Every structure is written in structure tokens, then in C-alpha cells.
Copies of this chain bind each other. A is one copy, B any other.
Amino acid sequence: MSARKPSDDRKAEIVLITLDLAFEVGPDHVTTGMIAKRLGVSQPAIYKHFPKKEDIWQAVTDTLCARIAANTARARSPEEGPFDQVRTLVLGHLAIIHATPALPEIMVTRDPTGNLTKTRARIHTAMGAFRAALVTSLDAAHEAGRLPAGVTVEDAVKLMFGLIQGLVLRLIVGRDIAVLESDGARLLDLQLALLGNTGDKL
């Protein structure tokens, strides 16, 4: 028998283990048995803390959405110029993915059983707010006449998302978190420079 612990501690442990496993084997291949094994308890013990498997994903989602929202809010500082705001937002988001690489996996995973459906919906909402923040900042850049002629705010946003998602896909395919650090900031600055950033001055 394994050491007995308070349920809140166990819940937190289960969430962390689930995030780890989600990146390792894919979110929809995470089984209660795997979680239990890594936790050092029997498989049914999981159900003392989460009545349904889906409840585990709800708890995981709480963690992820909180981080996304925190990053989105962080960039509201009006002292920064618009390009610096975009830079802060994108780098912050890349940092979240670096810390919890399961995040994009969850967004990408198909799940016919519906275990992850609510989870994904909530994350998409959080990502919608993140996107809106990008729009706000790039809109400011556009208003200031700092985007090249012919580049719409919408397309600029799509290029920024494309940059994030290009890195994300390399992360998913290559299983290598390092690309986020090695290429993230450089490609971001390159793309921002192409979009007309000549260095924000307050």
C-alpha cells in the first residue's frame, strides 16, 4: 500500500503527471492506469480523487487556462510600444508552451470519446482572448502607420500565429522543446522587423 496523502495533494500530483504523460504519449493515450503507475498507487485509487476521467482534464484545463489568461493580461502595460507588446505576448505564450508542452497537443488532439471536448473549448476561449490582445496591439501599430502598405491587421495576426504554430508543429513532430528557445525569439524578431518594427521608442 502506498503512503496515504490528502486528496488536494494527490489532485495536484495527478494534474502534473497527466500533463507530463499528455506530452509523452499524446493526450488521448493517457490512461488512468498510466497515471496511477507513475503515482505509485493502484489504478482505481485515481477514482477516489476524480470521479470521472474527464474530471482530470477539467483540472488540467484550469491550470492551463489560468496561465494563458495571465500572459494575455500581462501585456496590457501601455508604456510599451505596439511591437514590444506583441513581442511580450508571443514570447510569453512560447514560455507557457515550453513549461507545459502538452498544451498544443491537447489543442490538436482528436478525441472521439469526448473526454477532451470541454477542455479544448475552454482553451480555445482563452486563446481567443490572447488573439484579441494581439489584434489590439497590431491595430495600434497599424493606426500609427507602422505596418507596410497592403498588410492588414488580420493578416499580420495570422503571420504571428503562423510563427507560433510553425514552432509548435516542429515541437510536436520533433519532440524537442529546444526549438522554442533556439528559434522562437530570433524568428519573432525577424518577422516583426519584416513587418516594419524599427524599434519601439516611447
A interface list, Cβ under 8 A from B? 25-26, 28-29, 105, 107-112, 124, 148, 150-151, 155, 158-159, 161-170, 172-173, 183, 186-187, 190-191, 193-195
Report the minimal beta-carbon distance from A93 to chain B, rounded to whole angstroms.
14
Q: A158-B183, A159-B190, A183-B158 are in contact. Are A107 and B173 (CB under 8 A)?
A: yes
The closest CB in chain B to the CB of A162 belongs to B166
Report the minimal beta-carbon distance from A165 to chain B, rounded to whole angstroms.
4
Q: 15 A-B contacts, Cβ less than 8 Å apart?
A: A25-B112, A26-B28, A26-B112, A28-B28, A28-B29, A108-B169, A151-B190, A151-B194, A155-B190, A159-B166, A159-B190, A164-B166, A168-B169, A169-B169, A194-B194
**Cα distance, A133 to B84, chains bound together (Å):** 35
The closest CB in chain B to the CB of A124 belongs to B173
**Cα distance, A184 to B132, chains bound together (Å):** 22
Q: A151-B190, A194-B195 known; 5 other A-B pairs, CB under 8 Å?
A: A124-B173, A162-B166, A164-B166, A165-B168, A194-B194
Q: A108-B172, A194-B148, A194-B195 are in contact. Are A187 and B166 (CB under 8 A)?
A: no
What are the nearest 9 A-B pairs in CB distance?
A162-B166, A26-B110, A165-B169, A194-B194, A165-B166, A25-B112, A162-B162, A162-B163, A29-B112
- Complex contacts, A164 vs chain B, CB 8 Å: 166
**Cα distance, A34 to B90, chains bound together (Å):** 41
**Cα distance, A186 to B166, chains bound together (Å):** 18
**Cα distance, A107 to B170, chains bound together (Å):** 10
- Complex contacts, A194 vs chain B, CB 8 Å: 148, 151, 194-195
